[in-house]
Amino acid sequence: MSVSEATGDEARKTLREELDEVRSDIIRLAALTTEAIAAGTQAFLDGDLVMAESVVEGDDRVDELYHQVDDRLLLILATQSPVAVDLRAVVTMMRINHELERDADLMVNVAKTTRRIYPHELDPKVRGIIDRMGVQSSNQTRLAIDAFADSDPSWAAALSDMDDTMDELTKSLFRHILAWGASDEATVLQAVQVALVARHYERIADHAVTIAERVQFMVTGTHPGTAEDTDLRI
């Protein structure tokens, strides 16, 4: 083996090691995000202002880790010149990093909504649907990150199917809210806020689908629904 070949192998190994470390950070970011989903949902259901505030304050940790990952990936692009599979991994990690940070922001919005509608109690059916939406969005996020951690592209289609469940929950909640026929200002305000919360959960579920689709691209070089190899050989 020539000196240049040995140097190239060493550089490539260093790149893979750096990508593995970033992968671990993204998995840690996902854990913080799913914790925010669980805590934010519980705070909203219970009208727990203390827990809601902890979700808002906890977003600083998410933002800090998000920026660390983003900066490190930019540095890898600038100094390592990744190609093909490695370049797809960097691009995918950037996208997943962004999706998770947005998920945490959406749960901050849910936590702030807890304060907006306090001290009004939630309708029992609304509570049940929101509870299921919280569980569904957590499950989809975890599965998407499992797909990323295992480099398993098979979850893309499965998560897309699972997203139908979230869409049905959203429709069910909207139908129930519209049936209220509310006339007083407080009830109208609550209906609007609950509808916005439902949209936040729906977006989180959509992000999980996007993460799984990016994993498919990272591993196979193809996008869902396409068969053409788009491997990046730069």
The enclosing domain of 163 has a CATH number of: 1.20.58.220
The span from the CA of 147 to the CA of 150, in Å, is: 5
Q: Decide if 167 is inside a domain.
A: yes
- Maximum distance among all Cα pairs of the chain, rounded to whole angstroms: 81
Do 206 and 212 meet the contact criterion of CB atoms below 8 Å apart?
A: no
State whether the Cα torsion 26-27-30-32 is positive or negative.
negative
Q: Decide if 97 is inside a domain.
A: yes
SS3 annotation, 24-38:
HHHHHHHHHHHHHHH
- Taking the C-alpha atoms of 124, 130, 132 and 137 in order, what is their torsion angle to the nearest 10 degrees? -170
Q: Decide if 133 is inside a domain.
A: yes
Q: Which two tokens stand for residue 196?
A: 């916005």
Q: Decide if 29 is inside a domain.
A: yes
User: Dihedrals φ, ψ of 83, to 5°?
Assistant: -130, 165
Q: At what angle do helices 3-46 and 49-80 cross, to 10 degrees?
A: 170
pTM metric for this prediction: 0.88
The span from the CA of 87 to the CA of 92, in Å, is: 8
Amino acid at 149: A
Identify the domain containing residue 19 by its residue range: 3-220
pLDDT in tens, the chain (234 residues): 443 444 455 455 589 899 999 999 999 999 999 999 999 999 999 999 999 999 999 999 999 999 999 999 999 999 998 999 999 999 999 999 999 999 999 999 999 999 999 988 899 999 999 999 999 999 999 999 999 999 999 998 889 899 999 999 999 999 999 888 766 888 888 899 999 999 999 999 999 999 999 999 999 999 876 654 444 433
Q: Decide if 213 is inside a domain.
A: yes
Q: Decide if 108 is inside a domain.
A: yes
The span from the CA of 47 to the CA of 111, in Å, is: 9
Q: Decide if 194 is inside a domain.
A: yes
Alpha carbon 216 to its chain centroid, in Å, reads 16
The total number of structural domains in the chain stands at: 1
